[in-house]
A = this chain, B = another copy of it.
Amino acid sequence: MGDSGQFRSKLELDDARVTLAVDEVTRLVAAVFENLGCAPAIAREVAEHLADSNLCGMESHGLMRTLQYAEQFESGYLRADAEPEIRVNDAGATLVDGHGGIGIPAMRLAVEEGCRLAGEQGVSAVAIVDVGHTGRLGAFTEWAAWRGFLSICFGGGGREKWRQVAPHGGRRALLPTNPYSIAVPGGERGPVMLDFATSKIAGGWIYAARSAGARLPDGVLMDPDGNITRDPEDYFRGGAILPAGEHKGYALALAAEIVAEAMLGPTTTEGGWLLLTLDTTRYREPTALARVAEEILAELRDCPPAPGFERVEIPGEREREHRQRTRDDGIALPRKTWEQIKRLSERLADPRRQ
């Protein structure tokens, strides 16, 4: 369920694109991470996760992140050689400690452990701490849902560094974008999966609009006086993104921030996350669940569209359909992004070029 499709296509118009074979670009990006000091398996896992985000149409969580992660490894902000580890604390709670590394392998380990524990006990909680960017959360919750588990993942923390969103009724950016992802087994076409920021738009769009010289959609940003604006520069002058659904997105964000910072904190690296996992097969036999889910989903797909829409979508299907459609053709990266990744790759392969 991407935000601002209209805005995304604007970015596409501005940039020429290069289409790359999935295997080839994944290998190249994995080599980048390996040259930065990641273990080969982690380098491969992160590269595959990013490439898959592009295939899903989630460019904001795709291969463009290679540049950000590389910078974070090189500056020492993240530890390239970190490997996530499961630990059980004195009170018996299960945590995945990312040891200051990139969050993608930590989140994958958490979802595997969460499903294993929920398979044994019916329900599980796994906290994820001391991690960098966790990638596309929906990839992890959906993985669990394919295996019969309902999962809920949310978090945030580190609001000192990521003050992006105003509380409902306020005009200062005080909170991060505190995302939520929930996935549940669905019907014939796979899980229902949602993955969204609790703000009207994700923070990345502001930077993208600024660099593209574009205006933002109406009603998502306020200037420092609290007036609605479409100019991304107002954000950098002390403005704030509005919460999604007014007080509702704000309340979800605040609950996530308290969990991340007050319950799991103090925040190390970028934030803390909580993953709750439930074994749905303990309530209903999988084929019966899928049959009823399909009835609900079929009804929604048949809903006559509202003005300005082509159809009603099922959360999670846009990503899967995009992957299906683009997998054989490859990943179309903006030329500028690809050139930066290539230069980085060449520099790391031959350190004398630095």
Contact = CB atoms under 8 A, between A and B. Distances in A.
A171 B304 contact: yes
Contact-residue size bin, chain A (C-beta under 8 Å from the other chain) = 35 or more
A184 B263 contact: yes
A292 B111 CA distance: 28
Interface string A255-266: 101110111111
A18 B82 CA distance: 66
B226 A278 contact: no
Interface stretch (A23-31, A45-53, A311-319): A311-319
Contacts of A246: 244
Contact of A184 (B92, B122, B185, B255): B255
A191 to B, nearest CB: 9
A92 B262 contact: no
Given A282-B92, A306-B226, A247 B315 contact: yes
Contact of A167 (B121, B280, B289, B303): B303
Interface string A90-125: 011100000000000000000000000000011111
A249 B248 contact: yes
With most chain B CB atoms within 10 A of its CB, the pick from A168, A225, A248, A305 is A248
Contacts of A244: 245-246, 248
Interface string A52-90: 000000000000000000000000000000000000010
A347 to B, nearest CB: 41
Contacts of A150: 259, 263
Contact of A262 (B172, B262, B293, B314): B293
A284 B313 contact: no
A184 B274 CA distance: 13
The majority secondary structure among interface residues of chain A is mixed
A251 B254 CA distance: 20
Contacts of A303: 166-167, 169-172, 174
A151 B187 CA distance: 28
A307 B283 CA distance: 48
Sorted nearest first, the 9 A-B pairs with minimum C-beta distance are A245-B245, A170-B303, A194-B251, A91-B282, A226-B306, A169-B309, A262-B292, A251-B315, A123-B125
Given A1-B248, A170-B303, A262-B290, 5 more contacts: A166-B303, A167-B300, A171-B307, A226-B304, A263-B289
Interface of A: 1, 89, 91-93, 121-125, 127, 150, 152, 159, 166-172, 174, 182-186, 192, 194, 196, 222, 225-227, 244-252, 254-255, 257-259, 261-266, 274, 276, 278, 280-284, 289-290, 292-293, 296, 299-300, 303-307, 309-315
